[in-house]
Each structure stands twice: as C-alpha cells, then as structure tokens.
Amino acid sequence: MHTMARALLACTALLAVLAVSEGWAAGPFDAPGFTKVFTCTACHGPAGNSPSDSMPIIAGMPPAYFKKQIAAYATGKRPSPEMAPYAKMVMHLGADDVAAYFAAQKMQPAKSTADPAAVERGRKASDQCIVCHGKEGKGDVDKGIPSLVGQPAGFLREQMLLFKTDKRNPGDVQLKAIKAIMATIQDATFADLAAYYSSLR
C-alpha cells in the first residue's frame, strides 16, 4: 500500500506539471456560475464577448444595468421576440448570479473595421451624446448609463434607430430626452456615430 500511495502521489504531481506546461489554466467555462449562462454564450459569445456585429458585448457590464435590461425584456417593456424567452430564463435561474458572472468577465472590444473617415464624422457628431455618455463614451454607472466603448457598430446603429422610432422601451418617460435627441439625427449619421464609438478603447 505504501508503494501504491507513492505511485499515486507521483502521478498527481506529474499531472500538475503537465497541466502547467500545457497551459491548462482555468478559462471562462470554468468560472462559477457558467452553467447558468451557457445558453447566453450561443449569441453573446464566450464570457459575453460577442463575435457578431449585431449582438452586444455583455462582458464587464455593470450588474444593475444588466438586470434592468433583462427585466425589461422579460416583461415586454423592451420588446424583442428573440430575447424575451431567454430573459425569462435568466430571471428563473437567478438574475443576480448571471449578472455577477458577466460583470466579472473582461470585455474584449469589437474589432473595428470602419472607414477612418466615418469614424471622424462620428467623432464630430458625438457632441450631443457627451451630455449622457461622457467625452470618452464610457457612460455613468451610478446613473445607469451604459458605456458605448468598443461595442459592435451594427448593434449600436440598430439601437439608435430603435430609440429614434420609439421601438426600444416604447413610452418610457425616462428615455424621453434621448429619444428627442435621436429624432433630430439623420439615419446616415447613426452609422458614423456607431463607427466612432465602436472604435474607442
């Protein structure tokens, strides 16, 4: 038995060495709570870093903002036939746990392939966005204003259009001001604004 115990100990030590040498480090799939967010990663990417131009990056998102949007989707205040069932699932599994998981993940900004001219036009047109999102586009966590930095350009443009047409959280008085601003912006400018904020780091 003594010999067998030593053999088992030697095997354990060898596996530990191999794990280090092969780079078997814990990744996002090993993080606590991953089993509750597995379905989310199908669209939003591993650890919430979306590879899609149309899906938002939710890695690093403040928990309060995440939970507010999930509740809005689940109750129909933010209409989305695609998101509603998943939002209800998150509410069932535990929005606090899911929000905490994504908040703990490091955001990897979307790859920006925008025309530099579009980015510059967007920078010049962003003055009216600064009052809420700040000069660097990072928003205000305490006020529940999200960061726009590094989000996919396609997603940003779509949200601006939804705000303009009152299709995002329709009738929400708290969003009345931003919708009034969006109504004054030409649709073509949204692409430039999206390119600019997506390019920020």
Q: Does any domain span residue 159? A: yes
Considering the domain architecture, whether residues 39 and 69 belong to the same structural domain is answered as yes
Out of 9-18, 50-59, 164-173, 183-192, least confident range: 9-18
Give residue 82's domain range. 26-108
Considering the domain architecture, whether residues 147 and 193 belong to the same structural domain is answered as yes
Considering the domain architecture, whether residues 62 and 100 belong to the same structural domain is answered as yes
CA distances from 191 to 149, 165, 166 (A): 15, 16, 18
CA distances from 167 to 16, 69, 71, 158, 186 (A): 54, 14, 17, 11, 17
* Cβ neighbours of residue 49 closer than 8 Å, sequence gap 6 or more: 57, 59, 105, 107, 108
Model pLDDT for residues 28-61, shown as the tens digit of each residue: 555 666 788 989 999 999 899 999 999 999 999 9
Show which of 62, 80, 108 is a domain's final residue: 108
Q: Does any domain span residue 10? A: no
Tally the domains of the chain. Answer: 2
pTM of the model: 0.82
The predicted pLDDT at position 156 comes to 98
Q: What is the CATH number of the domain that holds 77?
A: 1.10.760.10
Considering the domain architecture, whether residues 187 and 124 belong to the same structural domain is answered as yes
Q: Is the pLDDT assigned to residue 8 strictly greater than 50? A: no
Considering the domain architecture, whether residues 35 and 60 belong to the same structural domain is answered as yes
Considering the domain architecture, whether residues 81 and 63 belong to the same structural domain is answered as yes
Q: Does any domain span residue 17? A: no
Q: Does any domain span residue 19? A: no
Q: Does any domain span residue 4? A: no
Q: Is the pLDDT assigned to residue 121 strictly greater than 90? A: yes
